[in-house]
């Protein structure tokens, strides 16, 4: 499959960034997906997903620790009603964070 130049109307190679007849730039949307992939692959870090999962895990660990500390302060100040659920949420976030850091 080939595309037509928007300037001179001649059929040109779909993988070419410019028209081989008149030199007009081919809009990126008209270049085939395969050509785009080969053009941009070198710029994309392959480990981006793993590192973002680790960052999320680290954030969850910090939030979980803060919630557990808050729950301890609640025990000390005798606000006993909310203590259980805050501790539970903090511990769950902490565990999820460790899992993300370990697996990511």
Binding site for Zn ion (CB under 5 A): 5, 7-8, 19, 21-22, 24
CA atoms of 82 and 104, how far apart (whole Å): 33
Nearest to 70 by CA among 56, 54, 86, 85: 86
In the complex, what is the shortest distance from the CB of residue 5 to Zn ion, in angstroms, rounded to a whole number? 3
In the complex, what is the shortest distance from the CB of residue 20 to Zn ion, in angstroms, rounded to a whole number? 8
In the complex, what is the shortest distance from the CB of residue 62 to Zn ion, in angstroms, rounded to a whole number? 56
Q: Which CB, 7 or 79, lies closer to Zn ion?
A: 7
CA atoms of 78 and 73, how far apart (whole Å): 8
Q: Which CB, 2 or 49, lies closer to Zn ion?
A: 2
Q: Which CB, 5 or 67, lies closer to Zn ion?
A: 5
Q: Which residues contact 4 (CB under 8 A, 6 or more apart)?
A: 10, 11, 12
């Amino acid at each position: 499959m080939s595309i037509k130049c928007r300037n001179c109307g001649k059929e040109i190679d779909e993988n070419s960034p410019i028209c081989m007849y008149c030199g007009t730039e081919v809009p990126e949307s008209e270049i085939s997906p395969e050509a785009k992939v080969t053009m941009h692959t070198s710029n994309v870090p392959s480990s981006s997903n793993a590192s973002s999962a680790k960052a999320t895990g680290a954030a969850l660990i910090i939030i979980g620790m803060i919630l557990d500390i808050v729950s301890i302060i609640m025990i000390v100040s005798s606000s006993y009603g909310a203590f259980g659920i805050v501790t539970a949420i903090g511990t769950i976030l902490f565990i999820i964070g460790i899992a993300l850091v370990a697996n990511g």
